[in-house]
Amino acid sequence: MYPGVHAAERPDHPAVIVAGSGTRLTYRELDDRSLRLANALRAAGLGEGDVVALLTDNDPRAFEVYWAAARSGMYVCAVNNHLQASEISYIVEDSGAGALVVSAALADLARGVADEVAVGTRLAFGGPVAGFDDYERVLAAASTRRPDRQPRGADLLYSSGTTGRPKGIKPALPDRQVDEPGDRLVDLLRAAYGFGSDSVYLSPAPVYHAAPLRFCASVHALGGTVVLMERFDAEEALRAIERHGVTHSQWVPTMFVRMLRLPDEVRARYDLSTHRVAVHAAAPCPVEVKRAMIDWWGPILHEYYSATEGIGMTLIDSRQWSEKPGSVGRAVLGVVHICDDDGRELPPGEVGTVYFEREEQAFEYLGDPEKTRAARHPAHSGWATVGDLGYLDEDGFLYLTDRKAFLIISGGVNIYPQEVENVLAPHPAVLDVAVIGVPDEEMGESVKAVVQPAPGAAPGPELERELIEHVRARLAHYKAPRSVEFVDALPRTPTGKLVKGKLEEQTS
């Protein structure tokens, strides 16, 4: 379904509520405004298969742009607003965007992009931006005629760019109309997590990222309400759950850490009784952190493992996780295979590259056929990977160990940074941590921890020794860091992913 169905049935039901300001966008407004924008884009010459680039903060109008493209057979390319203008310009040009819609809250960035790219249709909402037409004026002048055909569009999103230039992930367009069933994510969220028309979904992450964008769109397809945080704040998130009666939410592990660090009296201040499902993904969650969240919120945590490429998906609930701590679950989309570097399938318990098998892997890396080929299994075209390492247990539960690109080889022995990070992250003196390999004349590489100290913790040799001993007491000694570097902050994307390439440059 799509907002037009719900606008006909419950026109005044809120599609979006901004958590802080309380600003609301009803289904009537979302349907009308996305229809007007879709007609304006078509009048400007865009058609099926064309790309609409979106540069926005967490503003409800982002979903007007999303659904305008989604009901027109177009791609929406939501761009990371934390990039530099030159990086955004690269994505806009690389995607082949025929339209660029921006938020005036990002006016300086938008002007920088406008100076570098030639896009025929440029619209700005929330205020004037030089070089862009006024979004509200264009919508007011647009037709309200509902076309006979409304082919379903898709998103065209770019990888986080943790190493090198980000690559566009372009799926095949669905062969159906926007009001026809067939959206696998919508069906999965309804079946696995109980999403429906009564859902109130808290989205604390940036909407340009795949998971928030797709989950919010799925909530709209089902007729629920998205509570959109302008930006994540630990206490404000708890306040939003209480104030808006949130039933479902989605998080990344760094958000859990921030909330767990709140004083006990703050954590106890808010009524979270409406909260039924807390989904998390995007980055590994240390076992101790997840266990503390379940102790606090109850067995409402659900984890999934997937990727922007949509190659497959695993799920695990709190009960299963308590029996299989550290697992990301069993496959619900595709079949998981673990393979060695030559593509041979490995038995349970052995670490290798994680592949998902599906009838077809209907995505490509835009303009990079070599990377597309590299993501496929050498012998099975229907098997694809994003480069994660892991293993399956005898029951088919998947455990991730790390990204292949981050593997440390010290003295010929494989060391998975994630394992060490999971031990250090819950330490009370650690606010954030990353583990990397650094050159070592004797061992080839040695293990180094880069730590952002928690408030009140004093960085220095004493804390370095304490953290190293903390790891040595819990893991094999060869896995423990040889050194610890203390920093003010680690380079993470706003969605919680660590940019290890940048970190390695900074510490080299």
Q: Which of 222, 248, 267 is the C-terminal boundary of a domain?
A: 222
Dihedral sign for Cα atoms in the order 395, 401, 405, 410: negative
Question: Would you call 154 helix, strand, or coil by DSSP?
Answer: strand
Task: Give the mean model confidence (pLDDT) for residues 122-144.
Answer: 97
pLDDT score, position 355: 96
Residues 68 and 126 in one domain: yes
User: Would you say residue 348 lies in a domain?
Assistant: yes
Residue 161 confidence class, pLDDT cut points 50, 70, 90: very low
Residues 117 and 161 in one domain: yes
Q: Is the pLDDT of residue 412 over 80?
A: no
Percent of the chain residues topping a pLDDT of 70: 97
Structure tokens at 346: 């490995």
pLDDT score, position 162: 44
User: Would you say residue 236 lies in a domain?
Assistant: no
Q: Number of folded domains in the chain? A: 3
Relative orientation angle of helices 184-193 and 210-222, to the nearest 10 degrees: 80
Residue 493 confidence class, pLDDT cut points 50, 70, 90: confident
User: Would you say residue 267 lies in a domain?
Assistant: no
Q: How far is CA 29 from the centre of its chain?
A: 27
Q: Is the pLDDT of residue 478 over 90?
A: no
Tell me the per-residue pLDDT of 319-342, one tens digit each, with 9 for 90 and over: 999 999 999 999 999 999 999 989
Neighbouring-strand partners of residue 250: 279
Q: How many residues does the chain have?
A: 508
Q: What is the pTM of this model?
A: 0.83
Residues 396 and 418 in one domain: no
Q: Is the pLDDT of residue 475 over 50?
A: yes
Among 362-366, 426-430, 461-465, the minimum mean pLDDT is found in 362-366
Q: Domain of 421: which CATH number? A: 3.30.300.30
Q: How far is CA 376 from the centre of its chain?
A: 22
Q: Is the pLDDT of residue 150 over 70?
A: yes
pLDDT score, position 253: 86
Q: Is the pLDDT of residue 312 over 60?
A: yes
Among 40-49, 399-408, 456-465, the minimum mean pLDDT is found in 399-408
Structure tokens at 364: 């490509």
Residue 18 confidence class, pLDDT cut points 50, 70, 90: very high
Residue 361 confidence class, pLDDT cut points 50, 70, 90: low
Residues 207 and 82 in one domain: yes
pLDDT score, position 419: 86
User: Would you say residue 108 lies in a domain?
Assistant: yes
Q: Is the pLDDT of residue 436 over 50?
A: yes
Residue 495 confidence class, pLDDT cut points 50, 70, 90: low
Residue 163 confidence class, pLDDT cut points 50, 70, 90: very low
Residues 377 and 475 in one domain: no
pLDDT score, position 114: 92
Residues 346 and 481 in one domain: no
Q: Which range scores top for mean pLDDT: 156-160, 317-321, 387-391?
A: 317-321
pLDDT score, position 147: 95
pLDDT score, position 21: 94
Q: Give the separation between CA 413 and CA 273, rounded to whole angstroms.
A: 48
Among 10-14, 236-240, 402-406, the minimum mean pLDDT is found in 402-406
User: Would you say residue 369 lies in a domain?
Assistant: yes
Question: Would you call 432 helix, strand, or coil by DSSP?
Answer: strand
Residue 180 region by backbone torsions, left for phi larger than 0, else alpha for psi between -120 and 50, else beta: beta
Residues 396 and 482 in one domain: no
Three-state SS letters, 381-445: CCEECCCEEEEECCCCCEEEEEEHHHCEEECCEEECHHHHHHHHCCCCCEEEEEEEEEEECCCEE
The domain containing residue 23 runs over which residues? 3-222
Q: Domain of 356: which CATH number? A: 2.30.38.10
Task: Give the mean model confidence (pLDDT) for residues 158-172.
Answer: 75
Q: Which of 175, 198, 222 is the C-terminal boundary of a domain?
A: 222
User: Would you say residue 241 lies in a domain?
Assistant: no
Q: Domain of 91: which CATH number? A: 3.40.50.12780
Task: Give the mean model confidence (pLDDT) for residues 270-288.
Answer: 92
Residues 464 and 377 in one domain: no
Residues 148 and 81 in one domain: yes
Structure tokens at 270: 């808010």
Q: Is the pLDDT of residue 146 over 60?
A: yes
Structure tokens at 170: 């372009």
Residue the block writes with tokens 């009308």: 32
Task: Give the mean model confidence (pLDDT) for residues 462-476.
Answer: 94
Q: Which of 176, 200, 222 is the C-terminal boundary of a domain?
A: 222
Task: Give the mean model confidence (pLDDT) for residues 129-139.
Answer: 97
Residues 399 and 411 in one domain: no
Task: Give the mean model confidence (pLDDT) for residues 163-187.
Answer: 88
Tell me the per-residue pLDDT of 242-272, one tens digit each, with 9 for 90 and over: 999 999 999 988 899 889 999 999 999 999 9
User: Would you say residue 147 lies in a domain?
Assistant: yes
Residues 446 and 487 in one domain: yes
Report the amino acid identity of residue 313. M
pLDDT score, position 507: 67
pLDDT score, position 408: 86
Q: Is the pLDDT of residue 215 over 50?
A: yes
